[in-house]
Structure 1
């Protein structure tokens, strides 16, 4: 048995991302999606996390990369729901079928075109 103290998740459960934080996530995804469109994936596979790669791939509709990463659509949306809405907001969105997260991605995707 480990002597390490248990992880305290309370600070994450009370987090409520602001509109500015959500906008920053969208800006980052847009910038990265444009980089991938211009240069392909190779330069970024070793630089970005798998979650970041999955988010950009989902935004671009790159199902081949999502399959390679083992990230189905629901997994990507669930991951980003937490980042966009915090723990409790994500739980509500997951229970509702991730409609807010899907709508958020749709809005970002429109900016990409």
Structure 2
């Protein structure tokens, strides 16, 4: 047995991402989607986390990759709800049907379309 103190996750439970945090996450996701559209997945799949790859694939509508990753819309949206709204906010977002997270991705898709046309 270790004498180490148990890990406390309380600081994460209280985390409240700001509008600026959400905007920065969206900008990063869009930039990565643009890179994948320009160069393909080979340079990125093994560099980004599984969640980041799934988020970009979902943004791009890459159903084949999502299936390969064994991800579906609900799992991607649930993961990103935590990033967008924090632990407590994500619980409410999930209970409401992830509508805010869906809207956030819809907005990101519009921005991606403008960036790539």
TM-score by shorter chain over 0.5: yes
1:59-93 Cα distance to aligned partner (Å, 9 max, x none) = 00001111111111111101100000001110000
Q: How does 1:1-113 map to 2 (within 5 A)?
A: 2-113=2-113
Kindly state the Cα deviation for residue 38 of structure 1 after the two structures are TM-superposed.
Answer: 0.4
Q: Deviations over 1:84-112 (max 9, x none)?
A: 00011100000011010000000011001
Distance in structure 1 (CA, Å) of the matches to 2:58 and 2:2 = 38
**Secondary structure of 2:48 counterpart:** coil
- Aligned CA RMSD, in angstroms, stands at 1.0
Structure 1 residue 7 displacement after superposition: 2.1
> Could you list the runs of 5+ residues in structure 1 that have no partner in the other structure?
none
Q: TM-score, normalization: structure 1?
A: 0.95
Q: In the aligned structure 1, how far is the partner of 2:22 from the partner of 2:99?
A: 16
Moved more, 86-95 or 3-12: 3-12
Alpha-carbon deviation of 1:3?
Answer: 4.3
